[in-house]
Amino acid sequence: MTQQKAIATPKRTKEILDKYGFSFKKSLGQNFIIDVNILKNMMQVAGITKDVHTIEIGPGIGALTEQLAVHSDSVLAFEIDQRLLPILEDTLQEYSNIEVINQDILKADVKKICQDKWQNQKEIKVVANLPYYITTPILMQLLLAKLPISSITVMIQKEVAERMAAVSNTKEYGSLSIAIQYYTKAKIGMIVPKTVFMPQPRVDSSVLHLEMREEPPVSVINEDFFFTFVQACFQQRRKTLRNNVSRHFKESMTKEAIEQVLVDCHIDGTRRAEALVMEEFAMLANRFYQCMQEER
């Protein structure tokens, strides 16, 4: 495939949009990539080869889909906007290894669709330029669905990528960092200026690469309790851990019992949540969980 032929150029994109009289829907996060080099870099960050099947979320007019068709074995793409289906049929007509499914990714049974399509053995990777208005719900759904995927590589808003990949003692670190890093090893692959999109979004983007973990890095008794606890610890970032935890458990535990948990776990209550690493959150959440069970 030659550079001129790629969908992801300003000229070709404009031609396709004009041909179909397509108008962007802001409400669906439609910002299409018009720089093929960015997409090729994404292939590298994601480690796409012919030994890999790929899932794309939101193919748009097919700019990234085309690269996935060229570089991977086969592509399954979920697109919510029906108006894009005839356009994709046209732009991707020369590829026989792409299946477009007209479904909302948040409602699709991705696991079953994957299993039905690819009974075989090959590694499956997710690669997408996500609709930014639902970045976190999409990623959390993919992670919780326990799909047979090895990695997720997504273009998302730069600030959100930084929060997802953040480590302790930074201002970006929070409950989202813990949720993402509980399931994956997160790394920012590259920063992407807003000028490579049509129309241009208000913000810059980053490519975030998430390598699925086989096992979470910490042992947690109850995952729902753990994630709710971590959120509570970050509720008021400037306040101490003691303050946030006391507020969270004020209906269910005495002040003394809360203090005892901090002592048992050797955690100084004057620290702030952003100073705690995941192991410390897990230790505290497990101990609080046990206390609540004993109370019953």
Task: Note the residues at the interface with ligand SAM (CB under 6 A).
Answer: 28-33, 57-60, 63-64, 78-81, 84, 104-106, 129, 131, 134
Question: Could you tell me if 101 and 79 are in contact, meaning their C-beta atoms sit under 8 angstroms apart?
Answer: yes
CB of 38 to ligand SAM, least distance (A): 9
Burial of 40 (0-12, 13-18, 19+ CB in 10 A): middle
Q: Is the dihedral of CA 36, 140, 182, 204 positive or negative?
A: positive
The first and second tokens of residue 22, run together, are 């397509």
Known binding-site residues for S-adenosyl-L-methionine equal: 31, 33, 58, 79, 104, 129
CB of 42 to ligand SAM, least distance (A): 9
Known binding-site residues equal: 31, 33, 58, 79, 104, 129
Cβ nearer to ligand SAM, comparing 63 with 98: 63
Cβ nearer to ligand SAM, comparing 197 with 288: 197
Cβ nearer to ligand SAM, comparing 92 with 180: 92
CB of 68 to ligand SAM, least distance (A): 10
What SS3 class is residue 221? coil
CB of 54 to ligand SAM, least distance (A): 12
Cβ nearer to ligand SAM, comparing 31 with 175: 31
Q: In the chain, what is the straight-line distance between the N-terminal and C-terminal CA atoms, in Å?
A: 66
Q: Tally the residues of the chain.
A: 296
Closest CA to 272 of 240, 230, 236: 240
Cβ nearer to ligand SAM, comparing 181 with 205: 205
* CA distances from residue 185 to 8, 81, 96, 109, 193 in whole angstroms, order as listed: 29, 32, 33, 25, 24
Long-range contacts, stretch 245-253, CB < 8 angstroms, 24+ apart = 245/269, 245/284, 245/288, 249/288, 252/292, 252/295, 253/288, 253/291, 253/292, 253/295
Cβ nearer to ligand SAM, comparing 196 with 282: 196
CB of 111 to ligand SAM, least distance (A): 16
Cβ nearer to ligand SAM, comparing 105 with 283: 105
CB of 132 to ligand SAM, least distance (A): 7
What SS3 class is residue 66? helix
Question: Could you tell me if 230 and 175 are in contact, meaning their C-beta atoms sit under 8 angstroms apart?
Answer: yes
CB of 293 to ligand SAM, least distance (A): 38
| Closest CB to ligand SAM: residue number | 58
Q: Which residues pair with 210 in a beta bridge?
A: 152, 186
Question: Could you tell me if 273 and 244 are in contact, meaning their C-beta atoms sit under 8 angstroms apart?
Answer: yes
